Amino acid sequence: MYEGITEKLVDFSRSVRFDDLPTEVVQKAKWIFLDSVGCALGGYVTDRARLALAFVTESGGRLQSGIIGGQHTSHALAAFANGELITALDYDCLGPLKGQHVTPYVTPPCLAMAERVHASGKDLLVALALAHEIGGRFLASLVAHRVPTEKPPYHEYYPRFSHAYTIFGAVAGACKLLGLGRLETLNAFGIAGASVPVPAGVKWEFINGPAIMVKFNAWAGWVSQLATVATLLAEKGFTGDTTILDGDFGFWKIVGSPFFKTDLLFGGLGEVWYKDVEFKLYPVCGLNRAGIEGIRSIMAEHGIKPEEIEEIVVKADPFIVTPNRMMTEVESFADMQYSNVNIFAVAAFYGDRPSPAWQMPLIYHDPQVKVLARKVRIEKYPGSDELIADALKKEKPLAMNTLVELSARGGKFMLEVKTPKGRPSNPLTEAELIEKFKMNASFSMLPSMRIPEIITTILGLEELDDIGRLTRLLTVD
């Protein structure tokens, strides 16, 4: 059972060439990279970035790879820093597959290795497409946040989920850039798989108190660093379990998944590339997007001012009422990413101006925001348990609306939001992604005159002969 899984995945990753990628996949890879770089630049406003960068500076190391918006350091530490920066605001894209975070775990190792070998833009695009494809498929093949049960409500939260499973995508992309052989790549998979963080994602959902910086209990910086180290060690001849994904005691069993859906891992691999990536318009948890848009739409349609609001009720996916999202006091950027009541209060005042500033004290300590936050109520969407159970039973994506009820001027206004901006069926345009990038970059230390060239270079990445030309634009040393 499950024999040859590791070899099959490695053989596929080593076989992919730029000409194998559909045009739409190449375009999506460039957009993901542009968005990721922008999120990293915007992430400088957070304490998470400040502390991570302080650690990198204190650790020293040879100047090998660039930190986005910062200086050069060792390959492994650059991957660590860039992973922390990309994920810092929780502004990075979701997907491909299952709406989970992939890019902060897989992009940094690819960027570090691309700079190491002076890779071309085409080489980096292949690595990024490969890393996201394998990372997304691997997440989909193992247990997610919820599993079906035989008793009401016919689903339960599963305690062993982790975004860190994306590490195999990161390793595949990094090994591809170094041109590692079959055995070296298998060893890199084994080193990484045996070292991945414990699957503690759902534990994070139920932390009752101030938000922590180790978001999802799956540290993007550490996973990125680990993937980079595994790749570099394998290149030198360090050995790992070359069958890490195989058999009854393979990785799926190691991390406690009740199943390993290899059909999702290999179905159409190389023929069907998943492009259903969701780009975020707001720097907060993705669960809050529909609620934000519902509030904004009601206020715009009826000319309601924030100070006229008497109450806001948002009914959404039950994940929105987990303890880590029900906190009412915001004292940090991390709190602001997940505090429902404060997110929706900020949306009422600043919803037309999303930016990293949402996670700065200037915004979340705004007295007006604090007053309105006390008027926000959060509930589960009616019938949500049945919708979830049905989706799990039929193994289909969960499509749950968000209902917003806003009371103002003595009346109640209601709006049901089905598809918030950024979903594949309601995507952000390239122009909107560029504006988001510019806004994020304005919070960084990069000279403003570089920004147009960075955008042009990334969107024309396939024309670049040496990725070093881009990393020089992205660094300040």
Question: What is the SS3 assignment for 313?
Answer: strand
**CB of 449 closer than 8 Å to CB of 438:** no
In this structure, of 104-108, 197-201, 456-460, the range with the lowest mean pLDDT score is: 197-201
Question: For residue 1, what pLDDT is reported?
Answer: 81
Asked if residue 98 has pLDDT above 80, the reply is no
Distance in angstroms (rounded) separating the CA atoms of residues 291 and 312: 10
**CB of 404 closer than 8 Å to CB of 415:** yes
Max Cα–Cα distance, the chain, nearest Å:
72
Distance in angstroms (rounded) separating the CA atoms of residues 441 and 39: 8
Beta strands in 200-344, from DSSP E residues, in sequence order: 309-316
Question: For residue 119, what pLDDT is reported?
Answer: 99
CA 127 to chain centre: 17
Question: For residue 159, what pLDDT is reported?
Answer: 82
Question: For residue 147, what pLDDT is reported?
Answer: 87
Question: For residue 108, what pLDDT is reported?
Answer: 99
Asked if residue 387 has pLDDT above 80, the reply is yes
Q: How many residues does the chain have?
A: 477
**CB of 157 closer than 8 Å to CB of 145:** yes
Nearest Cα residue to 458 out of 2, 36, 113: 36
Measured between its terminal Cα atoms, the distance across the chain in Å is 52
How many CA atoms, within 13 angstroms, populate the side-chain half-sphere of residue 417? Answer: 26
In tens, the pLDDT along 279-328 reads 999 999 999 999 999 999 999 999 999 999 999 999 999 999 999 999 99
Asked if residue 99 has pLDDT above 80, the reply is no
Report in angstroms the alpha-carbon separations of 383 from 150, 387, 388, 389, 402: 18, 6, 9, 10, 12
Question: What is the SS3 assignment for 462?
Answer: helix
φ/ψ of residue 396, rounded to 5: -120, 160
The sign one gets for the Cα dihedral 214, 215, 221, 222 is positive
Q: Identify the bridge partners of residue 148 per DSSP, sorted by sequence position.
A: 155
**CB of 288 closer than 8 Å to CB of 343:** yes
Q: Identify the bridge partners of residue 278 per DSSP, sorted by sequence position.
A: 94
Q: Given phi > 0 = left and psi -120 to 50 = alpha, else beta, which region is 216?
A: left
Structure tokens at 67: 């930190």
In tens, the pLDDT along 180-238 reads 999 999 999 999 999 999 999 989 989 988 999 998 989 999 999 999 999 999 999 99
Nearest Cα residue to 107 out of 67, 51, 55: 67
Pairing of strands 402-408, 65-66: unpaired
In tens, the pLDDT along 138-164 reads 999 998 888 888 888 888 888 889 999
Using CB atoms within 10 A of its CB, is residue 331 exposed (0-12), middle (13-18) or buried (19+)?
middle
Q: Give mean pLDDT, residues 393-419.
A: 93
CB neighbours of 371 closer than 8 A, spacing ≥ 6? none
φ/ψ of residue 223, rounded to 5: -65, -40
Quote the mean pLDDT of the chain.
Answer: 96
Nearest Cα residue to 172 out of 96, 109, 114: 109
DSSP letter string, 14-32: HH--GGGS-HHHHHHHHHH
> What domains lie within the chain, and their CATH numbers?
5-266 (1.10.4100.10), 286-417 (3.30.1330.120)
Distance in angstroms (rounded) separating the CA atoms of residues 76 and 231: 10
Look up residue 402 and give its DSSP letter: E
pTM of this structure:
0.97
Look up residue 312 and give its DSSP letter: E
Distance in angstroms (rounded) separating the CA atoms of residues 9 and 83: 24
Question: For residue 103, what pLDDT is reported?
Answer: 98
**CB of 220 closer than 8 Å to CB of 87:** yes
